[in-house]
A and B are shown apart, each in its own frame.
Chain A
Amino acid sequence: MERLTKFRFTNLDKILYPKLNVKKLNVIEYYIKIAPKILSFLAKRIVVLNRFPDGVEEKGFYEKDSPGGTPPWVETFARFSETSGREINYIICNDLNTLLWLANLAALEMHIVLSQIESYEKPDQLLFDLDPEPPAGFNEAVEVAFTLKENLDSLGFKSYIKTSGKKGLHVLLPLVGDYNFSQTREFVHQFGKYLARDSDLVVSELSQSQDPGKVYVDYLQNSVGRTMICPYSLRATPQATVSTPIEWDELKGLNPEELNVFTVKERKKNPWAGFWENRQRLEVG
């Protein structure tokens, strides 16, 4: 058989999601089929892996540093990490080979920073992370997301939404590249405060993020080096869910658990197709 990749797939029969009997083969197939959609969101930025070599029912581990045995064709980016106290060789995933190599490492979850390496301190997107605290759940997050969209629309912003793959929702604005993280953080924080004033459901402060039945608008992710689950990344949930970009009009009545390793790769829709062509300014005209 002709070699299509620069490495060999290994342990394809390993079961990674025992509840659904999803093998590594299925995970790799997912990333093969989703590659045309996911690569533009991974490219040129640090990716932090959450690896589950023994499947999602066993403990996984975060990996920032390129692991031993990283092939020479994988691009890395050396940078001193404050939290680790040493220089880290971060993995940069620009191409199909790297993506599938990561999938073969059982890096089910791929988390991205909100800026590219060449302008590390300048975010190219801004994130509203809507995080419901039980008993609030997905439906409450949907309600807050619609209110958020209305407000963003009225100010002339074009916003993009994806499921987190768990209970939450992520609303993003692609940005032109001359803001810094303190500005994007402040923008999201102010927006959260504004929504919280008009709604009993919304809280905007970290200290309230655990308040039962509330939806927290997390603004702190908009910081240097912080990560977000990449659009189209799998999640390490028992249902093998995907953090899935969706159309706003799909949101009502959506069951996020149905967006999984089997269904998302078959979706014809490409709701975020225009994401990078719609970079926006934050100043309101």
Chain B
Amino acid sequence: MVRLTESLKAKPPSRAIWSGRISIGLVNVPVKMYTMIRDESFQFRFVRKNDACPLKYERVCTLDGEMVEWADVGRGYEVRKGEFVVFTKEELDALRPSTDQRIRIDKFVPFKSVDGIYLDKSYILAPDKSGDAYSLLRAVLRDMGMAGVGRFTLRTKEYPILIHEYRGSLLLTTLRYAYEVVDPNDVEALQGLEEPDIEEFDLATKIIENLSGDFDIMEYQDTFRERVEKLMDKKMKGETIVVEPSKQEEVKELMAALQETLQKLQGT
């Protein structure tokens, strides 16, 4: 039984990133799409250390060191070491799928039958203008536990996608292509492994039973992020940053020893 996460924490987006319609045969459901997965890692820019002047990148030829104008920049694919096939931006653009404001659904499958390994990134779909068609689709998918499978072009890439109901919303999840996923059977280190003996197996089973519990993502916190945030606050208040010495037990012992030595030295 999957336990729902009590509280998802990321800030809701203020603007939709796309709008269009879900097409199921001749039926259309108008929707807006919102970001659901946020990369909350800190984005640092390269700046000069002493005056925080932001740095820019320049396109420089690796052979003669000359600056290259955008107009002269091509897209090279290295087919062999040092040997490139060059495309222009226009050539590549002509090959890209056209975006047509449609999420095409080809068929419906039981959501639980989809192998989770193909799920990539999820987006929230919300009704656009009228909510009737949206509510209907949401109710039916929830009730039947089914998901629509189809295709969708976001910006310049076409993805296989899945639409299903989640916490009162329709979600669009982009899927990975089969060629993007490695079959573990093809990993050499996994071949010819022997099955364990029954005693070992029983013992391992007991260990796992003892450590069993409910999955809760809230048990995992991004401590690096928290520390960066703290330091950021201090820097913004203009406090001098001193790298905090670790407050381990052993450091306390060091201070105790120091106290003792100071007393001894004063006694002499």
Contact = CB atoms under 8 A, between A and B. Distances in A.
* A in complex with B: yes
A113 interface: no
Nearest to B250: A25
B262 interface: yes
A28 B265 contact: no
**Residue from A4, A32, A35, A39 with most neighbouring chain B CB atoms (10 Å):** A32
A267 interface: no
B63 to A, nearest CB: 39
A274 interface: no
A96 B265 CA distance: 9
Contact of A36 (B255, B259, B261): B261
A5 interface: yes
Contacts, number: 43
Interface in B243-266: 243, 245-246, 250-251, 253-255, 257-259, 261-262, 264-265
Interface residues of B, number: 17
Contacts of A10: 243, 245
A32 B258 contact: yes
Interface of B: 242-243, 245-246, 250-251, 253-255, 257-259, 261-262, 264-265, 268
19 contacts: A1-B255, A4-B262, A10-B243, A12-B250, A25-B251, A28-B254, A29-B253, A32-B254, A32-B258, A32-B261, A35-B264, A35-B265, A36-B261, A36-B264, A36-B265, A39-B265, A96-B261, A96-B265, A100-B258
Contacts of B251: 12, 25
Interface of A: 1, 4-5, 8-10, 12-13, 25, 28-29, 32-33, 35-36, 39, 96, 100
A285 B89 CA distance: 102
A212 to B, nearest CB: 44
A121 to B, nearest CB: 30
Given A4-B258, A32-B257, A13 B265 contact: no
A39 to B, nearest CB: 8
A35 to B, nearest CB: 5
A9 B261 contact: no
Contacts of B261: 32-33, 35-36, 96
Contacts of A32: 254, 257-258, 261
